[in-house]
Structure 1
Amino acid sequence: MRRTDPNDPSSISREIKTHVGILGGIVGLLWLIEIIDVFLGGRLNFYGIIPRTSIGLRGILFAPFLHSNFAHLISNTIPFITLGWFVMLRETSDFFLVSAIVAIASGVGVWLFGSAGIHLGASGVIFGYFGFLLSRAYFERSALAVALSLAVALLYGGLIWGVLPTRIGISWEGHLFGFVGGIVAARWLSKRR
């Protein structure tokens, strides 16, 4: 991806349109999948992660796109857009790389260590963005990374409790391994720079 020239308003405008298109497209896809799932009587949810089963492995790929109901999807939509956009701010390509790393880390962690049942939802990815944005300041030590880390801590600092088994029916394992995946992604991207 091309870097945005901060002195060129049209370049910044193009970059923002790209961000809106990517995030809007993904959120639109999530909502479309949930609408289809409602018409199918929730059958798509069986494509989530089922820990320690061979069929549950497919959920590593599909689980971030599936939600148990509209309330679940609504609770994930705003943090996904906000934190996803923060991940994109330096380079749009970071978003795709971080998304892949945290989705795989969250999915594999849930498959290996998750409690019985079907695990699904984008929250593992959201916690991965959270971990990435918080830890990026430590690894990069740039003014932008520190400012973003502080903003994320102020806006979403309460998320940290989601990595603990505090509520029944919430895949805290997905949150925890997504968060760890975000730290790994921050470390890896800072080394590449």
Structure 2
Amino acid sequence: MNRKTDFNFTPGVVGYPVLFILAIWIVFWIEVRFGVNFNYLGIFPRKLSGLLGIIFSPFIHSGIKHLFNNTIPLFVLSMALFYFYKSISWKVLGYGFLFTGFITWLIARPAYHIGASGIIYLLASFLFFKGIFSKYYRLVALSLMVVFLYGGLLWYVTPIDPEISWEGHLSGLIVGLFFAFIFKKNIAEPPKYIWEHPDYDEEEDDFMRHFDEHGNFIEKLPDEITEDEQEDKIEINYIYKEQKNKKD
């Protein structure tokens, strides 16, 4: 039995999320070690200088609790993205990075918005809706797992806590849903199984493809067969029938 599937585990499935998280922790270590504060590099809505935050804000966190709360879901969700949607993972992550930050820049309150929460909501939203749209049991199961693990995140797309950038969360949710529609055609195909009989002979099968069910040579149309090929056809046809008689 041969199995064909788009789901393949590669080093990047774990490696890329680890590198991303490592970069976030290094930035936080620099802040603590050298007593600096990078909050001014966050997204500040509707100011040109605040556009820099679209790139830098996901790497900046207000404290160890904020950083730890983002680390685990970011690792789990990004790993799922690279495993189940390898062909479009960088497009989702790269464009999502930019669009989530830009929407936050457009709609958020006038304050510095920092943290990787917007990316987490982007990934959770994309994985959930994409799996539902696929109607493929593995991806639907992934969607249900996302709901089970991170369904509580939905509360934080509303202004229930003034210290939380709910605008960034909402932006990620919107972009994830949008991408699930945009990349709707890039759904992994269900595994296909090819069953092979234990007595299957590939060479014999290739040889027999030149004949129809009655044992007649059909590699070329009659008007395309030359006299020499006609003689070869008769000889091959004879050999084939002799072999068939021996097997019977």
The match for 2:242 is: none
For the 8 Å contact 1:105–1:180, the answer to whether it is kept is no
For the 8 Å contact 2:126–2:179, the answer to whether it is kept is yes
Which of 142, 145, 158 is equivalent to 1:164? 158
* Cα drift, residue 173 of structure 1: 0.3
For the 8 Å contact 1:102–1:179, the answer to whether it is kept is no
> When the two structures are superposed, what TM-score results if normalisation uses the length of structure 1?
0.87
- Is 1:125 paired with 2:119? yes
* Cα drift, residue 155 of structure 1: 1.2
Structure with greater Cα Rg? 2
Q: CA separation in 1, counterparts of 2:162 and 2:33? A: 27
Q: Counterpart of 2:79 in structure 1: which amino acid?
A: W
Q: CA separation in 2, counterparts of 1:19 and 1:138? A: 22
The match for 2:97 is: 103
Q: CA separation in 2, counterparts of 1:79 and 1:191? A: 27
Q: CA separation in 2, counterparts of 1:93 and 1:122? A: 23
Q: Counterpart of 2:31 in structure 1: which amino acid?
A: D
Q: CA separation in 2, counterparts of 1:96 and 1:38? A: 31
Q: Counterpart of 1:60 in structure 2: which amino acid?
A: I
Q: CA separation in 2, counterparts of 1:101 and 1:139? A: 20
- Is 1:148 paired with 2:142? yes
The answer to which of 153-162 and 37-46 deviates more is 37-46
* Cα drift, residue 93 of structure 1: 4.2
- Is 1:113 paired with 2:92? no
- Is 1:63 paired with 2:75? no
Which of 18, 28, 32 is equivalent to 1:24? 18
Q: 1:146 to 1:76 in 2, by over 3 A?
A: same
Q: CA separation in 2, counterparts of 1:20 and 1:143? A: 23
Aligned-partner SS, 2:46? coil
Q: Counterpart of 1:117 in structure 2: which amino acid?
A: A
RMSD between aligned residues: 2.1
Consecutive unaligned residues of structure 2, counting only runs of 5 or more, are 188-248
The match for 2:167 is: 173
Consecutive unaligned residues of structure 1, counting only runs of 5 or more, are none
* Cα drift, residue 92 of structure 1: 2.8
Q: CA separation in 1, counterparts of 2:33 and 2:168? A: 27
Count of equivalent residues: 185
* Cα drift, residue 12 of structure 1: 5.0
Aligned-partner SS, 2:58? helix
For the 8 Å contact 2:12–2:82, the answer to whether it is kept is no
For the 8 Å contact 2:43–2:114, the answer to whether it is kept is yes
* Cα drift, residue 88 of structure 1: 1.7
Q: Counterpart of 1:191 in structure 2: which amino acid?
A: K
Aligned-partner SS, 1:31? helix
* Cα drift, residue 102 of structure 1: 2.4
Q: CA separation in 2, counterparts of 1:30 and 1:111? A: 21
Q: CA separation in 2, counterparts of 1:115 and 1:42? A: 24
> When the two structures are superposed, what TM-score results if normalisation uses the length of structure 2?
0.69
Q: How does 1:3-22 map to 2 (within 5 A)?
A: 15=10, 17-22=11-16
Identity of aligned residues (%): 36
For the 8 Å contact 2:28–2:60, the answer to whether it is kept is yes
* Cα drift, residue 38 of structure 1: 2.1
Render the CA deviation track for 1:11-63: whole Å, top value 9, x for unaligned: 956x1x32221111111111001111223434322111011111001111111
Q: CA separation in 2, counterparts of 1:29 and 1:93? A: 24
